[in-house]
Structure 1
């Protein structure tokens, strides 16, 4: 027994050390790494199930969360009276889940689904079949359809096909009523033209975010399974200077003019000459084959250029008087023909005054020259002014450059150096060999009406989100002296009272304006002189009238009407464009409650003009308000 006791008693520190477990750091590291990787695998699988769920598993075991964007309602575009020109509404879009269809417990043939959809959708069946056979869980089949189409698709009850709601841009007055000015958006509600593009950031707002707990196919599995994480912010309203009724009237008058004259293009702008606010900016096109007339998709008043003809003479005269090249009351010896030498070995070019018999000369005041639109008299005065001074005059009035409107796609026109060619001075003085937009020309005449001070045109009345002016107008710039502007305005009144613009007269108001009948190049012929056999067939004119309407308060309204390529014997600005101006201006002054001379107010109620809701190619009808 003492031996056993001795053995047990010998259990000293050495014995205890030999019985302990030794920990290996490398082995612990390996075990820890394995645990981390296994945990990461579980986490990744959970994330993968949410982001790329397994369709069979979802069908069997439940639902998953999907983040959805909440589209912001795009801001409305309204006219100066707050009437809608463009707004957004929810529209159904038809979408599909190709993976869900392929892995369905009860497989359905894609061709059968497409056959059913083809009875209500306009998308090509082959395109739908291709999309539904793709390896995706979401495809568009047709976007932003009419509500009744969405209801018809939902009634089919097709597996893997469902309806989602998107924003759609509505234009309550159809393809007209300033749509070319307002512009368009794409299917994602992004502005792609016009003011929708220019003010896209202001109009679009900010989208929100939401979580939706769904099962395959988009069906909500759990009550209250939709949670808004971040609400959307609607876009801001954009208020325009456009008057919807004046705009509609302008479009109707242009359509009628195109049908009557068989012209190809017609443009009208109505504005306030003292503020630059634009009340209407309309353009229409006529299909030469079908005769159908429709509103232009482009805002031709700002993007289309043409040779203006005699409407430029008012600007030429302003430069002549302001530079002291000729006096208002000085007599001019006006010949029937003026010859201008060209380059060597080239015959001189002849300018004619067709009022005068060949070889005769008359004494005229500048007012008579402008009133009867004499080419020879204008050319002589321009020669007295000189190329440099006329160049500077045109540039100061804004030709050859963009206006302050900064409309998307706006054209600066074409103004070459007038001393670069022997005929440029004479040609541009009478409105040839220069290209302008209707917007530039009405801005120039507004400058004359405003006492020689230039005011930038304006389409938007509201302000930018940062508080700055929506249309940052150039600082008011004096272009010519008040005396020069007033002298030309007085002569322009004579154009309407006793000259070529008599058909633009407006009872109760003074009208100061100028007609234009511009030659356009003849077919394939270089230049304006058509051969004798082609004269009748090839001659291409652009008829126009630009004018200022005045009452006791002074200038209160301005307008320009341009009709391109009118056919028949009546093709001049005085015969074709001036009457349209008179009707449009007459309607506008009543719509805006502008009183005639001697009246402080307008007793009549605001004139009502129903918005355009049908194509302009309807049967011709009389304007609701016309000036006899």
Structure 2
């Protein structure tokens, strides 16, 4: 301040200089140095401008005592949020941080705004999206001060008004159990990252949402200035919420879409069969060979109807179903994409979290514009099994499954059950939000449900058999990346399920990046989550 304002500080203050923390205060430099701060503060000359936060308590007391010898310097006390669960809830709650300069004009332009440049505001998670709901109104004290800025008397007081509070849909114990099971599964599979979500098909309420790796949002509350850059530079991307923002090929979990579409459009009925010999040769612009997953065992599935095709997750059945083969016309890309969008794929679900991704439902036009190539029948084959260019988030796929489970209602997923005021009065009661009703008959959905149930009793999801609790499920093993020397690509492990099938009350999805096969890697995690939810004995890991 002496060099900035030309005010000589004549006293040597060894007591101040020797205190722990005083030499650790980082005075801003560069574009936001002290001079720049003064220029920014001219519009708000009576607001203090912070140059250091989270300073040592003893240092703060000494600065307050020596304030007459430190013109322009004061110590401010600021309330901060306490995040009791840290990493467990970080991706849901987010964190607060200093008001970003580029957003100040937005906040100050809000109706009845009392935001200032010194405020802490939500930066991620519900803290960000619900900022104006959680933000209260500051109080005011009009003081009489002496020549040195010391308080003489209080002339007037306006008490602060607390903001509203959120009552979440998340079950804290279920959240902790889900994180534990997912961490165990990811570690065992040597996966890179993972996500799991538990949701109510009846309302769209999210009961648990986990993204691994995670981060500790308590570090932000402690005001540690270097934590943000460290987390951003971490190659594991712990701040990235894979449950809502990770876009991955969904693999065979996507098969519920062409199955629903083909039944509803009359391309096949419950009893029509298509054959699987393990491979399929497509005569188009040369010869192209397509495989079913079972081909690695040297066999095919034979003739299957659509229930068995879902249960066994037969790739060749869905190649033919979507793209046609020989005399069988098939569903076609445009119709399949129409149903994909009906299920909410290709657009964000609208959950109350920022950064949600929309996924990708590719079309012939999209390929022409983005890759400069024509769409082929082979592209339709790949899309039908959730490969090729198709991308989805774990939340999107679980929400689509919930629409199958509940009979055709696509709800908007939510983390907020109620908003209450400081006195505990409900100011915004819970009301499930319907995105749309699927234009699909109950008979069609019943057949798809049969296929998902048979996947558990006699298919790829046998590990989801919980005995007394009836489960319907769909596995997924999605190839990605570059093939190895043997031509084998790494795979993501997917599994989604709901239970009980008679009256579904809970649905779960598990995704493990680079984890391997969904039936053997993701299924045990999902089974543990459902066992915990229904109070069944857990399996030993």
The TM-score with structure 2 as length reference comes to 0.77
Shift of 1:173: 1.0
Note the 1:278-293 alignment, pairs <5 A. Answer: 278-285=206-213
Shift of 1:491: 1.2
CA distance in 2, matches of 1:270, 1:559: 4
CA distance in 1, matches of 2:297, 2:53: 69
Shift of 1:121: 6.8
Note the 1:85-124 alignment, pairs <5 A. Answer: 102=7, 107-109=10-12, 112=14, 115-119=17-21, 122-124=24-26
Which residue in the other structure is 2:509 paired with? 560
Which residue in the other structure is 1:440 paired with? 396
Question: Which stretch has the larger CA shift, 371-380 or 416-425?
Answer: 416-425
Which residue in the other structure is 2:222 paired with? none
Provide closer, same or farther for how the CA distance between residues 359 and 311 of structure 1 changes in structure 2, counting only shifts above 3 A.
closer
CA distance in 1, matches of 2:176, 2:236: 13
Q: Does 1:178 align with 2:89?
A: yes
Q: Per-residue CA shift, 1:113-144, capped at 9, x if unaligned?
A: 773355467434797xx869x98996534224
Shift of 1:272: 0.5
- Structure 2's unaligned 5+ residue stretches are 99-118, 216-233, 325-329, 366-373
Mapped contact 1:333–1:363 kept (Cα < 8 A): yes
CA distance in 1, matches of 2:34, 2:507: 55
Mapped contact 2:167–2:419 kept (Cα < 8 A): no
CA distance in 2, matches of 1:250, 1:337: 38
Which residue in the other structure is 1:587 paired with? 532
Q: Secondary structure at the match of 1:142?
A: coil
Provide closer, same or farther for how the CA distance between residues 471 and 438 of structure 1 changes in structure 2, counting only shifts above 3 A.
farther
Mapped contact 1:272–1:279 kept (Cα < 8 A): yes
Q: Per-residue CA shift, 1:59-111, capped at 9, x if unaligned?
A: xxxxxxxxxxxxxxxxxxxxxxxxxxxxxxxxxxxxx999999466xx2247x
Note the 1:166-565 alignment, pairs <5 A. Answer: 166-174=78-86, 176-187=87-98, 188-215=119-146, 218-220=149-151, 222=152, 225-285=153-213, 296-342=238-284, 344=285, 346-355=286-295, 362-382=302-322, 383=324, 384-405=330-351, 407-417=353-363, 421-422=375-376, 423-432=378-387, 433-463=389-419, 473-474=433-434, 476-522=436-482, 530=483, 533=485, 535=487, 539-550=489-500, 554-565=503-514
Q: Secondary structure at the match of 1:554?
A: coil
Which residue in the other structure is 1:150 paired with? 57
CA distance in 2, matches of 1:513, 1:208: 54
Shift of 1:216: 5.3
CA distance in 1, matches of 2:188, 2:297: 33
Shift of 1:394: 0.7
CA distance in 2, matches of 1:257, 1:152: 47
Mapped contact 1:447–1:453 kept (Cα < 8 A): yes
Note the 1:9-158 alignment, pairs <5 A. Answer: 102=7, 107-109=10-12, 112=14, 115-119=17-21, 122-124=24-26, 140-145=50-55, 149-154=56-61, 157-158=65-66
Shift of 1:274: 1.1
The structure with the larger Rg is 1
Shift of 1:163: 3.1
Provide closer, same or farther for how the CA distance between residues 363 and 356 of structure 1 changes in structure 2, counting only shifts above 3 A.
farther
CA distance in 2, matches of 1:521, 1:219: 65
Shift of 1:339: 2.4
Question: Which stretch has the larger CA shift, 115-124 or 452-461?
Answer: 115-124
Q: Secondary structure at the match of 2:402?
A: helix
Shift of 1:308: 0.6
Q: Per-residue CA shift, 1:30-56, capped at 9, x if unaligned?
A: xxxxxxxxxxxxxxxxxxxxxxxxxxx
Q: Secondary structure at the match of 1:461?
A: strand
Shift of 1:470: 7.1
Provide closer, same or farther for how the CA distance between residues 378 and 155 of structure 1 changes in structure 2, counting only shifts above 3 A.
same
CA distance in 2, matches of 1:168, 1:476: 40
CA distance in 2, matches of 1:240, 1:184: 16
Mapped contact 1:492–1:512 kept (Cα < 8 A): yes
Provide closer, same or farther for how the CA distance between residues 218 and 447 of structure 1 changes in structure 2, counting only shifts above 3 A.
same
Shift of 1:252: 2.1
Question: Which stretch has the larger CA shift, 511-520 or 320-329?
Answer: 320-329
Q: Secondary structure at the match of 1:311?
A: helix
CA distance in 1, matches of 2:275, 2:342: 29
Mapped contact 2:199–2:206 kept (Cα < 8 A): yes
